[in-house]
Amino acid sequence: MTAPSAAIYGWRKPDLDAENAAFFRDAAPWGFILFAEACKSRAQVRRLVEALWETVGREALVFIDQEGGRVARLKPPEWPVFPPAARYGELYRRDAAAGLEACRLGHRLIAHELAALGIRADCAPVLDLPAEGADPIIGDRAFGTEPAAIAALGRAALDGMADGGVAGVIKHIPGHGRADADSHLALPRVVAGAQALALDVACFKALADAPMAMTAHVLYEAWDAAEPATTSATVISRIIRGEIGFDGLLMTDDLGMKALTGSWAEKAQRSFAAGCDMALHCSGDLAEMQALAAAIPPLSGAALARAQRGDAAAAKTPAPLDAAEAWARLRTLLAPVTPVA
């Protein structure tokens, strides 16, 4: 079988049309990522996932952003509401053991929903360390403001998803919490020095064995004054692969975000040249995907090996779960913080 291309393409419609199916068949992406517009019901999403698999002739990894809180592509009333990361952090500050149990259980329940749909990878947890005065894009998506708490709760989240047969993607490496802008809209700059950035690094270093990570489209002046992390060979080699020690699959954040400039081909080429393994494109726009596909190489070498480890991490059989009992326990744990819907 030909190696898949080093791309993850987004999909935003409930059904897959023939034109896009033909593109996916030719482009042979390694994976797909679904957004809220594509997720209407459990039966419909399962059919969509199977249709995507058919285009590439294999059970390709299907990703989603299901963090809980305001970042949730699976929405009520079809799916339950999951707490934002900050709620686990609040409980952890009061009772560390209860916070860890709740976080693991909450992410186990997310995995329970995802695995039933054929979605075996979640772009979570967020390991960013928020800083005072930064853009609010991270906000309650973060577990807290202490590196040790973020690392502990991030580990609980990864473990909970893994128990449910879903691989996590830590983000936004090496840290988006100090960013002065929303990278969807502009290129954020971080002016903090090495001593402060060491705190951001610590959150990711503690989970360097995660199977996958997503880059931050953020420029860190102390590390590389010219390029954001996604396109910085210095940041990827010296900080992400070096200081943090991450050797899993490194995917870009969405190449369509306005933090990055240039054509689709240029953005992809700069990302791969810097050391990213995988290009992520989220709009689902066919013309954009076609332009990007021309610059996407087949997976090979270290990137292929990392992708294979990512596939393996998502192929585990879920442990048994009594979902009703798990929800009851989660609500009990979180009752002193905020009720869970």
User: What digits encode the pLDDT tens for the residues 41-55?
Assistant: 999 999 999 999 999
Determine, yes or no, domain membership for 183: no
Determine, yes or no, domain membership for 233: no
Determine, yes or no, domain membership for 54: yes
Task: Check if 253 is active-site.
Answer: yes
- Supply the CATH number for residue 54's domain: 3.20.20.300
Count CB-CB contacts under 10 A for residue 263: 12
Determine, yes or no, domain membership for 194: no
Using pLDDT thresholds of 50, 70 and 90, give the confidence band for residue 3.
confident
Determine, yes or no, domain membership for 245: no
Residue 121 backbone dihedrals phi, psi, to 5 degrees: -145, 130
Torsion of CA 5, 11, 16, 18, to 10 degrees: -50
pLDDT in tens, 158-209: 999 999 999 999 999 999 999 999 999 999 999 999 999 999 999 999 999 9
Q: Which of 185, 173, 214, 181 is nearest to 310 (CA)?
A: 214
Task: Check if 285 is active-site.
Answer: no
Determine, yes or no, domain membership for 180: no
Q: One of 65, 224, 253, 254 is an active-site residue; which one?
A: 253
Is residue 41 exposed (0-12), middle (13-18) or buried (19+ Cβ within 10 Å)? exposed
Q: Which of 116, 148, 142 is nearest to 128 (CA)?
A: 142
Determine, yes or no, domain membership for 64: yes
pLDDT in tens, 200-243: 999 999 999 999 999 999 999 999 999 999 999 999 999 999 99
Determine, yes or no, domain membership for 164: yes
Number of domains in the chain: 1
Instruction: Write out the residue range of the structural domain in which residue 327 sits.
Output: 5-169+255-334
Using pLDDT thresholds of 50, 70 and 90, give the confidence band for residue 298.
very high
Q: One of 15, 26, 95, 184 is an active-site residue; which one?
A: 184
